[in-house]
Amino acid sequence: MRISALCLYAGLLTLANAAAADLPARQGEMARLVPAAPAAAAPQVTFQDAEGRPRSLSEWRGKIVVLNFWALSCPPCRAEMPALDRLQAAMGDQVAVIAVASGPNPPTRVAAFLAENGITHLTPMADPSMRTALGLGAPGLPVTVVFGRDGHELGRLIGGAEWDAPEVVAFLDALLAEG
């Protein structure tokens, strides 16, 4: 039993290291990004826009996507939202930073929170049932999943981060340079 567990661990570590080799260097905040092993296409990821219309992650194919799941009731989530907003402002239209309020977050309260904090570059999205977050295997909030231009998951970061830190911008710039 012990040997099979070690073999399983070694196999998973090998896959993770192989996936990590495909990613640009990860330093600072990005060192916590857990590579997807192996990179797999995203499932049909859907959520709602501010008007309640369904939106799909596939709408952003061709861009690097930073998909953040957060909630008003989550202090680390609230704390990282201004940095996500600054990241979107810094990266322009080649990167889509999508902040999805997961769970029972009243749209009027989400809009008020964004306005009170000067968050103007993020487009508010919602996942009221948390079906999307759970479908992507989010163990809690905040969770941020990074997808490549081809829609494949590159990795995920669990917990809050300073998303506008220089090493995050450098990581995303390196992904963009890969083409």
Average pLDDT, the chain: 86
Burial of 15 (0-12, 13-18, 19+ CB in 10 A): middle
pLDDT at residue 2 is higher than 80: no
Domains parsed from the chain with CATH numbers: 2-177 (3.40.30.10)
pLDDT level of residue 25 (50, 70, 90 thresholds):
confident
Residue type, 82: P
Tell me the pLDDT tens digit for each residue of 57-95: 999 999 999 999 999 999 999 999 999 999 999 999 999
Rounded CA-CA distance 52/3 in Å is 51
Q: Is the peptide bond before 38 cis (omega within 30 degrees of 0)?
A: yes
State mean pLDDT over 5-22: 38
State mean pLDDT over 30-35: 90
Tell me the pLDDT tens digit for each residue of 98-141: 999 999 999 999 999 999 999 999 988 999 999 999 988 888 99
pLDDT at residue 163 is higher than 60: yes
Rounded CA-CA distance 19/156 in Å is 12
Tell me the pLDDT tens digit for each residue of 140-150: 999 999 999 99
Residue 116 main-chain phi, psi, to 5 deg:
-60, -30
